[in-house]
Each structure stands twice: as C-alpha cells, then as structure tokens.
C-alpha cells in the first residue's frame, strides 16, 4: 500500500503538457483504427504520443489514450523492467500476448496483496484492449479507475479519448470536465476540452448546413473551424533544399 501511495504522490506532482501539434483532419467521428504506437519514454511524467497519420480520428482519440502514469522509481527494478517491456510490446503491436501477460500478473498480484492495485498495469491493459478493438472493456477499466483512484485525472482523460473514437463527443466532454474537476491545474485536460469544443462547433455547423442546403454560411464556418484542428507543418515534413 505504501508503494501505491508513493506512486500516486509522484504521479500527481508531475504533469506534462501535450505537444502543440494536433492530429490531421476532423474527417469523421468513427472507430479509431488501431496502429502500432511510437516508442515512448518512461519517466515520472506521463508521456504523450504525437498525433498519428492523416485520416485518423483527431488528437483526442489517439493522443489522450496514451497518457498513463510513469514509472515509480520506488518499485523494485524487476517490476520496472517488466512494465517497460510490456509497454515496448504494445508499441510493437503485440497486444494479444501483452494482454495475456498483464492479466496473469494482475491475478498474481491480487493473490499476494488483495488490497494493492498496480495502476500502471491497468493503464497498459486498457491500451492493449483498445488495440484489440475491445474498446468497451477498455472504457470499463478507466471508469473503474476513476473510482479506485479518484485523485487521478488521467483515467477521465483516457475515457474521453475512447468516447471520441466512438463519436460520443458529448460524453467525452463530460469526462474531460470531470478530469478538470479532479485536478483544476491539469493543463492537458483544459487544452483538450478547448479543442473538443471546436469539434462540437464543427459538428453543429455541419448539422446546420444539412438542414439548410441552400445556405453556404454554415458549411463555410464548418470548414474554417476544422482548420483550427489541422496540425502545424513540422520541420521534418517540409521539403529539403540543397
């Protein structure tokens, strides 16, 4: 129990704002296509993934989902190494075998100490489930974590990510508001909520355009609104000159 408290204390004290670049195109509010995730550093600050390729759901469905607690340096080295290895396996797309190992480890931990929960493993399990298109099960883990770890805003953030992936923007808004209520100084959730409002505005403009096809104003507003969610060109994406 002391280790869990130390982990939570370290996590709450270390936050990182997500990258400024947002994902490409607010194309459709459909299911998130799973893809191997880029390697992440493992530090006391929750690492953040860069937006994925064009055509995916916007940032909220693939950026927030990766937020998770960093490694607690008070844990034994073997446990730290195990967590890093499982994360690497997920980054390599080995979700099925990783999930099986996580379940085995969680069961063993429960037998040894029924009152202690490894929050890192729960986050990794939810990631594995999402990669396997078992999104509802991943959501259930995040909802459960909001009850077991009420001081953590990350589970609400992650739940919002999966709600966006399912096109449930209103439910995502509620989840992000809960993240902010849990940790008012959590800048990540506040910025994400602002971007979610942009998504909601674009959706509303689209609906207005369909209701009044002869009027282009709403459609133009929707187009301009979506531009706010387009990623800024990175130096790597610019043509190289001799």
What's the pLDDT tens digit per position in 104-133? Answer: 999 998 888 888 888 889 999 999 999 999
- pLDDT at position 51: 31
Over residues 13-33, mean pLDDT:
35
- pLDDT at position 32: 33
Q: State how far the Cα of 26 lies from the Cα of 43, in Å rounded to an integer.
A: 31
- pLDDT at position 15: 40
- pLDDT at position 92: 94
Q: Which phi and psi angles does 229 have, rounded to 5°?
A: -100, 0
- pLDDT at position 240: 42
- pLDDT at position 36: 32
Residue 111 CB contacts under 8 Å (≥ 6 apart), including other chains: none
> Residues 233, 234, 239, 242: is their CA dihedral positive or negative?
positive
- pLDDT at position 5: 46
More confident residue, 38 or 74: 74
Distance of CA 218 to CAs 6, 38, 168, Å?
51, 38, 22
Residue 69 has pLDDT above 60, yes or no: no
More confident residue, 9 or 154: 154
Kindly state the tokens that stand for 175: 């989840």
Report DSSP state, residue 230: S
- pLDDT at position 82: 87
Average pLDDT, the chain: 73
- pLDDT at position 31: 31
Domains detected in the chain: 2-15+22-230 (1.25.40.10)
* Its pTM surpasses 0.85: no
Encode pLDDT of 205-230 as tens digits: 999 999 998 888 998 999 899 889 88
Residue 54 has pLDDT above 80, yes or no: no
Angle among Cα 189, 190, 196 to the nearest 5 degrees reads 85
Over residues 81-85, mean pLDDT:
88
- pLDDT at position 60: 52
- pLDDT at position 121: 92
């Amino acid at each position: 129990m002391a280790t869990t408290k130390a982990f939570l204390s370290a996590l709450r004290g270390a936050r990182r704002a997500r990258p400024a670049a947002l994902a490409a195109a607010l194309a459709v509010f459909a299911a998130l296509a799973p893809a191997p995730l880029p390697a992440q550093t493992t530090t006391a600050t929750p690492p953040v993934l860069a937006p994925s390729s064009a055509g995916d759901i916007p940032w909220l469905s693939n950026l927030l989902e990766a937020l998770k607690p960093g490694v607690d340096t008070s844990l034994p080295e073997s446990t730290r190494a195990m967590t890093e290895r499982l994360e690497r396996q997920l980054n390599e797309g080995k979700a099925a075998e990783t999930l099986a190992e996580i379940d085995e480890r969680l069961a063993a931990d429960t037998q040894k100490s029924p009152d202690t929960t490894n929050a890192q493993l729960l986050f990794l399990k939810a990631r594995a489930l999402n990669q396997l298109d078992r999104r509802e099960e991943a959501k259930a883990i995040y909802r459960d974590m909001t009850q077991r770890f009420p001081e953590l805003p990350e589970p609400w953030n992650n739940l919002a990510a999966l709600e966006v992936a399912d096109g449930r923007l209103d439910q995502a808004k509620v989840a992000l508001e809960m993240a902010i209520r849990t940790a008012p100084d959590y800048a990540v959730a506040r910025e994400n909520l602002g971007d979610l409002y942009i998504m909601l505005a674009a959706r509303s403009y689209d609906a207005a355009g369909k209701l009044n096809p002869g009027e282009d104003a709403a459609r133009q507003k929707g187009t301009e609104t979506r531009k706010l969610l387009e990623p800024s060109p990175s130096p790597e994406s610019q043509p190289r000159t001799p």
